[in-house]
Structure 1
Amino acid sequence: MTQAQWNAFSNFRVQMKSLCEQWGLLGDKLYPLQQEAAKKDTPEYPLETAVVYNQAYDSVTINDEIRLIVIGDNPGKDEQLEKNRQYLVGQSGKIADGFFKRNPELNIDFRKNTLIVNKTPVHTAKTAHLRFLAKNGDSQIQNLLLESQKTMAQLTAKLHQELIEGTDCPQKAAQLWLVGYAELKGKGIFLPYRDTLKNAYNSKNWENVYVYQHFSMNRFLIDLKSFRTEHSDLSLPQALKILGHLHRDEIFNI
C-alpha cells in the first residue's frame, strides 16, 4: 500500500474495532434473541460472539495490497466462533478462494489481497434471522441494526474511495464487490445499507462498485457461467465487469 492507502486502512480498522466493541455491549440483549431466532430452522450451535469484529484486519500491514473489498451480509455461525472471529471463513470463503486461484489473470489472491466487510457485524445463524431481531428486540436493538448498516456503508465507501485515490497505479484501482443482493431490494433488511452506500460515492469511483450473487450455494459461479455462455466473446475480466454493473444498476435502480 502507499502511505495514503495505509493511513486510510488504519483509520478504518481503528473505527471498526471501536464500534464493534461499543455495539458488543448490547450482547446481553442480543444473545437471547439470536438463540431464539435460530431455534426454528438451525441445529444448536455454540453462540460465542454477538457482534463480530473481523480480526483478520489486525494482520494487515503496509506491505499488503488491498485490490478487492468484498461485502458479505452478516457474520454467521462459523464467523462468530471465538477461534475464528473473521468474515467469510466457511464454505462461501472456500468457494471464493478457489475461484480466484483458478483464474490467476484476475491478479487477486483472495486471502492476501481481499478485505472482507459485512453490512452489519451483528451475528445471526442465517441472515433472515435479522428480521426476528428487528421485530422482537427493543429500541436499542432496532437502532443497532439500522445504525450499524449505515455506519458500515459510510466507512466502507470512504475506505474504498481513499484506496482508489491513494493508489500509485490507477489501472489496479481497488474494486468493491457486493455479493448477495436478495436483501438489497424489495423489502429487504439491507435497504438502509444500500441507500447509504450509494449516497457516499462520487460518480467516478462508483464505476469500481460491482454487485454479484452470493458465493454460497455456488450462486456466483452459476450466474457467471450462464452469463459467459451467452457472451462467449468476452474475456473473464470483461464478463465480470459487465455482469457486476448489470446487477448493480438493477439493485440501485440506475
Structure 2
Amino acid sequence: MNPQQWKIFQNFKSDLKNQCQSWACYSKELIPLQKSSSVKDTPDYPIETPVVYNTALDELTQQSEIKLIVIGDNPGKNEQLSINQKYLVGQAGKIAEGYFKKNPELEIDFRKNVIILNKTPVHSAKTKHLISIDKELKAGNSPAQNLIEESQRWMAKKTAALHQDLIAASDENSFIPELWLVGYTELKKNGIFIPYRDELKTAYTKTQAITTDSLALTDELAKTSTAWQKVFVYQHFSMNCFSKDVKNHQAANPAQTLKQTLESLGQIHKEEIFY
C-alpha cells in the first residue's frame, strides 16, 4: 500500500475495531440467543466472542499488497474463539486459502494479499442461525433490537468506502483491488443479508447520482464507475461451492483464462443479485 492507501486502511481498521467494541456491549443479550439458535443442529461449544473483530487486519502492514477485499458471511465457531478472533479460519477459510495456492497464476496469497471482512461481525454457529437471533432481538425491547440489520448496513457502507478510497488512492506502483462478495444465497429475496446487499449498492451508486433522480440512469452510471466494475459476486468457499461453480463455468467457456472465468462468473452472479 502506498502512504495514502495505508492511512485509509488504518482509519478503516480503527473505526471497525471501535465499532465492534461498541456492539460488544450487547454480549449479555447475544450469548443466550447464539446458544439457543444452535442447540438443535450444532454440538455444544463455548461462545467466547459474541461480536468478532478480525484481528488478522492488525497483521497487515504498509508493505502488504492488497489485491482483494473478500466479504464472507459472519463469524462462525472457529472465528469467535479467543485464540483466533479472525475471519475465515475454519474449513471454508482453509478451502479458500488452498484454492489460491493451487492457482498460482492468480498471484494472490489469501493471508497476505486479502482484506477479509464479513457482512456482520455478529457470531452464529451457522449463518442460518442469524435469522432466529434477529427475530428474537426484534421481539425484545432493547437497544440491540435492530443490531443485525444495523451492523450489516454499517459494514456495507464502510467497506464500500474503503474499496473506493483505496482505488482512488492507487498509483502506478499499487494494485487496484477487487471486492469479492462470497456466499450469495442469503443475498437473494428474503435473505438475512438483504440489508447488506442494498446498502452496498447504494454506497457505490449514490456518488454517481449527483445530477439525476433516475434510479435506472443511476444504475447505468454506476456500471461505468471503476470501483463498481471491480465488485464481483460468488458462491461461498464452504462445501467447495465456489470451486465447483468456477469449474463448471470454465467447462462451459474453455477459451477463457482462469482470470477471465472469474470475472465473467462474478459478473453473472452480480447481475443476479443486484439487478
Query: What TM-score, normalized by structure 2, do the two folds share?
Result: 0.90
Using the alignment, how far apart are the partners of 1:165 and 1:77 within structure 2?
36
Residues 1:234 and 2:237 aligned together: no
Using the alignment, how far apart are the partners of 2:189 and 2:86 within structure 1?
29
Using the alignment, how far apart are the partners of 2:55 and 2:144 within structure 1?
23
Q: How many residue pairs are counted as aligned between the two chains?
A: 253
Per-residue deviation, residues 146-175 of structure 1 (Å, max 9, x unmatched):
110000001100001111111113893100
Q: Which amino acid aligns with 2:82?
A: E
SS across alignment from 1:15: helix
Using the alignment, how far apart are the partners of 2:124 and 2:186 within structure 1?
15
Corresponding residue of 2:83: 83
Correspondent of 1:186 among 174, 177, 189:
189
Query: Residues 54 and 87 of structure 2 are in contact (CA less than 8 Å); yes or no, is this contact kept in structure 1?
Result: yes
Query: Residues 75 and 122 of structure 1 are in contact (CA less than 8 Å); yes or no, is this contact kept in structure 2?
Result: yes
Displacement of 1:109 in angstroms is: 0.9
Query: Residues 64 and 112 of structure 1 are in contact (CA less than 8 Å); yes or no, is this contact kept in structure 2?
Result: yes
Per-residue deviation, residues 104-158 of structure 1 (Å, max 9, x unmatched):
1111111100011000000000111111111112243331111100000011000
Q: Which residues of 2 match residues 1-254 of structure 1 at below 5 A?
A: 1-137=1-137, 138-139=140-141, 140-169=143-172, 172-202=175-205, 203=222, 204=225, 205-253=227-275
Query: Residues 79 and 89 of structure 2 are in contact (CA less than 8 Å); yes or no, is this contact kept in structure 1?
Result: yes
Q: Which amino acid aligns with 1:237?
A: K
When residues 231 and 170 of structure 1 are mapped into structure 2, their CA distance, relative to the original with a 3 A threshold, is farther
Q: List gaps (5 residues or longer) in structure 1.
A: none
When residues 158 and 21 of structure 1 are mapped into structure 2, their CA distance, relative to the original with a 3 A threshold, is same
Using the alignment, how far apart are the partners of 1:66 and 1:29 within structure 2?
36
Q: List gaps (5 residues or longer) in structure 2.
A: 206-221
Query: Residues 164 and 170 of structure 1 are in contact (CA less than 8 Å); yes or no, is this contact kept in structure 2?
Result: no
Q: Which amino acid aligns with 2:234?
A: Y
Please tell me the root mean square deviation across aligned C-alpha atoms, in Å.
Answer: 1.2
Using the alignment, how far apart are the partners of 1:102 and 1:163 within structure 2?
28
SS across alignment from 2:108: coil
SS across alignment from 1:110: coil
Using the alignment, how far apart are the partners of 2:244 and 2:134 within structure 1?
32
Worse-superposed segment, 141-150 or 203-212: 141-150
State the identity %.
54
Displacement of 1:59 in angstroms is: 1.4
Query: Residues 134 and 141 of structure 1 are in contact (CA less than 8 Å); yes or no, is this contact kept in structure 2?
Result: no
Using the alignment, how far apart are the partners of 2:177 and 2:238 within structure 1?
23
Q: Which amino acid aligns with 2:69?
A: I
SS across alignment from 1:145: helix
SS across alignment from 1:26: helix
Query: Which structure 1 residue ranges, 4+ long, deviate > 2 Å from structure 2?
Result: 138-142, 169-172
